[in-house]
């Protein structure tokens, strides 16, 4: 039996998010490990007050600018991301004219196809999942990529990512945009632009930004990227955590 979660519940949104993941798990899109990874993310979200902070607003802007400036950007989607923000990713992909690529740590052909089908059902028109190329240097299944997507991309946007792949993508000369609530993770520290925010807020907010910013000229976009400082973003996120210790416990 599914619990009925009243909208008045103070943790309504967080509980509904969990429900989406559990549903994704039942459909074979999300793996059990994905549920645990979400737990780490939501702990950070709780600490940040479950809202988009200033450092995330700046990173989201720089991330969209970088995607718009890139020659061949791609958005890497795993099971959790599909379960949480498939419709929003469809919109983002459409507005930016950027493909989505299914890329998972716990790989099986069936699971990849299931995620791709789910994304298409939710309106994603440009979904890559051929798995016809390999990124050297990665031992696990994240190495299996699409030759038209991550393999040949100049910028890869990742979410709920593992740090080792992020490092290899960087080493192979690609720019990486990461959405990761943990400012201490290797992914967060490795990426060119780290959006320390929940994907459930970051992606729809980035869709709105993309709608506004696609009208900007290259110089304006280049200035946004040049002025952006990712180390400052991570420092501010850590400061936000540390400052909690200074506030009074209610």
Rounded Cα distance, 157 and 76, in Å: 6
Give how many residues touch ligand ATP by CB under 6 A. 17
Q: Does 187 bind ligand ATP (CB under 6 A)?
A: yes
Q: Does 180 bind ligand ATP (CB under 6 A)?
A: yes
CB 206 within 8 A of CB 64: yes
In the complex with ligand ATP, the residue whose CB is nearer, 155 or 187, is 187
Cα torsion at 177, 182, 188, 194 (round to 10°)? 40
CB 166 within 8 A of CB 186: yes
Question: What is the nearest approach in angstroms of Mg ion to the Cβ of residue 185?
Answer: 7
In the complex with ligand ATP, the residue whose CB is nearer, 93 or 198, is 198
Q: Does 162 bind Mg ion (CB under 5 A)?
A: yes
CB 162 within 8 A of CB 105: yes
Site residues for ligand ATP, 7-46, by CB under 6 A, read: 37-38, 40-41, 44
Question: What is the nearest approach in angstroms of Mg ion to the Cβ of residue 99?
Answer: 25
Q: Does 182 bind ligand ATP (CB under 6 A)?
A: yes
Residue with tokens 């991330």: 63
Rounded Cα distance, 196 and 63, in Å: 12
3-state secondary structure of 19: helix
Binding residue for ligand ATP (CB under 6 A) from 65, 115, 179, 207? 179
Site residues for ligand ATP, 149-168, by CB under 6 A, read: 160, 162-163
Give how many residues touch Mg ion by CB under 5 A. 1
In the complex with ligand ATP, the residue whose CB is nearer, 46 or 125, is 46
Q: Which ranges in the chain belong to alpha helices (H)?
A: 12-26, 32-47, 54-69, 79-96, 109-121, 163-171, 186-190, 199-213, 218-227, 230-244
Q: Does 40 bind Mg ion (CB under 5 A)?
A: no
Positions that interact with Mg ion (CB under 5 A): 162
Interacting residues with ligand ATP (CB under 6 A)? 37-38, 40-41, 44, 160, 162-163, 179-182, 185-187, 198-199
């Amino acid at each position: 039996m599914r619990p009925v979660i009243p909208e008045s519940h103070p943790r309504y949104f967080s509980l509904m998010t969990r429900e989406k993941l559990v549903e994704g798990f039942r459909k074979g899109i999300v793996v059990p490990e994905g549920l645990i990874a979400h737990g780490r993310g939501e702990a950070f979200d709780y600490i940040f007050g479950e809202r988009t902070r200033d450092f995330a607003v700046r990173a989201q802007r720089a991330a969209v600018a970088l995607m718009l400036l890139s020659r061949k950007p791609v958005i890497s989607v795993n099971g959790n991301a599909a379960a949480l923000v498939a419709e929003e990713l469809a919109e983002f992909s459409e507005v930016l004219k950027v493909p989505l690529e299914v890329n998972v740590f716990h790989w099986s052909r069936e699971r990849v196809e299931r995620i791709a089908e789910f994304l298409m059902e939710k309106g994603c028109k440009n979904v890559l999942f051929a798995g016809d190329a390999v990124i050297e240097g990665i031992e696990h299944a994240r190495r299996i990529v699409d030759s038209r997507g991550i393999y040949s991309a100049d910028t890869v946007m990742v979410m709920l990512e593992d740090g080792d792949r992020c490092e290899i993508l960087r080493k192979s000369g690609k720019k990486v945009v990461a959405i990761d609530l943990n400012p201490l993770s290797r992914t967060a520290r490795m990426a060119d632009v780290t959006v320390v925010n929940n994907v459930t807020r970051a992606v729809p907010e980035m869709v709105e930004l993309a709608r506004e910013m696609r009208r900007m000229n290259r110089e304006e976009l280049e200035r946004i990227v040049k002025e952006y400082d990712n180390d400052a973003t991570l420092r501010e996120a850590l400061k936000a955590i540390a400052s909690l210790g200074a506030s009074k416990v209610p």
